[in-house]
Amino acid sequence: MTGLTCGIDIGGTKIAGAVVDEDGTILEEARVVSPATDPEAIETAVAGLVRNLAQKHPVTAVGVGAAGYIDANRSTVLFAPNIAWRDEPLGAELSRLTGLPVTVENDANAAAWGEFRYGAGKDVDDQLMVTVGTGVGGGVIAGGRLLRGGFGVAGEIGHLCVVPEGRLCGCGNFGCLEQYGSGSALVRETQAAAGGSSLLAADLLERAGGDPERITGPLITLAAQEGDRFAVEQLASVGRWLGHGIASLVAVLDPAVIVIGGGVSEAGDLLLDPIREAFGRELTGRGYRPQAEIRGAELGNEAGVIGAADLARS
């Protein structure tokens, strides 16, 4: 399919949409508030956003990125963790509301595809993307194709077990990577250290007005960028866990490039360097095999809408 397509990224607080051309260039963007967890209201809001964009541009198809398990036909949401979608025919419903063909994809897969096509992975055929935000997500490109698995739900990177019988995860299992290498883990561990009267955390605690509960991920990143050694170490700890998990994934997938995205990746080399060090130290066959390059994502928050729009086209 050629021409302009519309990409949609359904987030917890907002729904972002964009008209994207074949070069991955965004021609127009729009956002609306996400109607909390009401599935029908979300579908209505998405359809309205698409119709408004399509009135100004000759849109031929729609791609939607949504958090959750998407079936192999890229149409039905089998399960969504934050919205009451269970076997929801989202693609068919949005197509009915908009009059356009609709492709539904996992949001992290859509972002991975965007980076592969137009961002940090555009020069390779095999890419692993790891998104580090509240949780850990990602997607796998193998031989130039998005790896979706037999049932459409491959790429749940954050639920790789790194600590048997470790921390309880929201997925119901124990010891998942996102319990140790995510933005939530970063904040949890930093707040605990600050609340425990650690002298190392004194400067960061002062930034938070003396209240450990006011320590946030962006605050930790800012402090680290300004030289706070405790904040630097907290980011490094998350990076080491990610490097550990990535080394295991690379042993199976052998990507040419690993792309790190998500909100926590805004820390740049403060996160990337510890990932690289742990990955290089733990990679199977290190020293006797080519080592994949670890790169920061290039498309930022637009990766999802760009990727979703391109998946609708292809």
Tally of domains within the chain: 2
pLDDT of 218 over the 90 cut: yes
195 lies in the same domain as 62: no
Residue 222 domain-assigned? yes
For residues 21 and 57, the answer to whether their CB atoms sit within 8 Å is no
83 lies in the same domain as 207: no
47 lies in the same domain as 139: no
Residue 118 domain-assigned? no
Pairwise CA distance, residues 128 & 35, whole Å: 32
Q: Specify the pTM.
A: 0.94
What is the percentage of the chain residues whose pLDDT exceeds 90?
A: 89
Residue 250 domain-assigned? yes
Helices (H), strands (E): how many in the chain?
9, 13
Residue 76 domain-assigned? yes
Torsion (CA) 10, 262, 239, 167 in degrees, nearest 10: -10
Pairwise CA distance, residues 243 & 239, whole Å: 6
Residue type, 144: G
Q: Residue 246 forms beta bridges with which residues?
A: none
pLDDT reported for residue 37:
77
pLDDT reported for residue 257:
98
pLDDT reported for residue 198:
81
- pLDDT band with cut points at 50, 70 and 90 for residue 197: confident
pLDDT of 69 over the 90 cut: yes
Q: What are the DSSP E strand ranges found in 55-110?
A: 59-66, 69-70, 77-79, 86-88, 102-106
194 lies in the same domain as 98: no
Pairwise CA distance, residues 26 & 305, whole Å: 9
Residue 204 domain-assigned? yes
Work out the mean pLDDT of the chain and round it to a whole number. Answer: 95
Handedness of CA 224, 228, 234, 239 (dihedral sign): positive
Q: Where is pLDDT greater, at 277 or 314? A: 277
Query: Each residue of 86-132: pLDDT tens digit?
Result: 999 999 999 999 999 999 999 999 999 999 999 999 999 999 999 99
308 lies in the same domain as 292: no
For residues 307 and 112, the answer to whether their CB atoms sit within 8 Å is yes
Residue 119 domain-assigned? no
pLDDT reported for residue 1:
62
Range of the domain at 215: 125-297
Output the DSSP codes for 137-173: EEEEEETTEE---SSS----GGG-BSSTT-SBPTTS-
240 lies in the same domain as 98: no
10 lies in the same domain as 50: yes
98 lies in the same domain as 149: no
Assigned token pair, 167: 């921390």
34 lies in the same domain as 147: no
Residue 20 domain-assigned? yes
Average pLDDT of the residues in 77-83: 87
Instruction: Give me the CATH number covering residue 57.
Output: 3.30.420.40
257 lies in the same domain as 142: yes
